[in-house]
Chain A
Amino acid sequence: AQSVTQPDIHITVSEGASLELRCNYSYGATPYLFWYVQSPGQGLQLLLKYFSGDTLVQGIKGFEAEFKRSQSSFNLRKPSVHWSDAAEYFCAVGAGNAGNMLTFGGGTRLMVKP
């Protein structure tokens, strides 16, 4: 069975600082990997996804993520954080064949200091 671990429950960074949110997955085959953001009282918005190809994936809002098969990781990065990035971030994994549900990590709450 697939699983996702986000080791950091809370992270606080200063506005303008760089950001890295960690995600480790467990899956026996090639995973489909996703990062979602959830602002307070809002639904989930897809930041980026990885299926195959280039292991560095660019997403919306200046986010990127790198797939590292050897480390079973898919960490999310942003070079300069904005106050509006404060939200809950979820990493998710889907099975390699399309149509299967997503398994979510526990989420990381990002707080941004002015």
Chain B
Amino acid sequence: SAVISQKPSRDICQRGTSLTIQCQVDSQVTMMFWYRQQPGQSLTLIATANQGSEATYESGFVIDKFPISRPNLTFSTLTVSNMSPEDSSIYLCSVLGWDYGYTFGSGTRLTVV
């Protein structure tokens, strides 16, 4: 299965600022996904990012708040913009592998103060 490197692993940010999270995959993948895991909660899909097209956002998530880039088949970024304490979560990227298994990055633990 693919190996994902996600950075940063954690960060503490001031409200009103933005943080960009990077997701690097060791192989080319078509489908990449960004999830949010709020404290003590399950995972919720933010958006699906395909190379060469705009990301598709789920209900409740908008591009202005969570802009996503997907410049090639091995890399994507998620930006959390104009942060508030409610954005404190773990953010995870995921890819769909050739064996239809979904691999996850180790996550970015974000705390907004």
Contact = CB atoms under 8 A, between A and B. Distances in A.
State the majority secondary structure of interface residues on B. Answer: strand
Interface residues of B, number: 23
Contact of B107 (A36, A43, A103): A43
B103 A46 contact: yes
Contacts, number: 50
A94 B106 CA distance: 21
Interface in B83-113: 92, 94, 96, 100-107, 109
A101 interface: yes
Interface stretch (A14-22, A63-71, A104-112): A104-112
Interface of A: 32, 34, 36, 41-46, 49, 51, 90, 92, 94, 98-99, 101-107
Given A49-B100, A104-B42, 18 more contacts: A32-B100, A41-B109, A42-B107, A43-B6, A43-B104, A44-B43, A46-B102, A92-B102, A98-B100, A99-B31, A99-B96, A101-B45, A102-B94, A103-B45, A104-B43, A106-B41, A106-B42, A107-B41
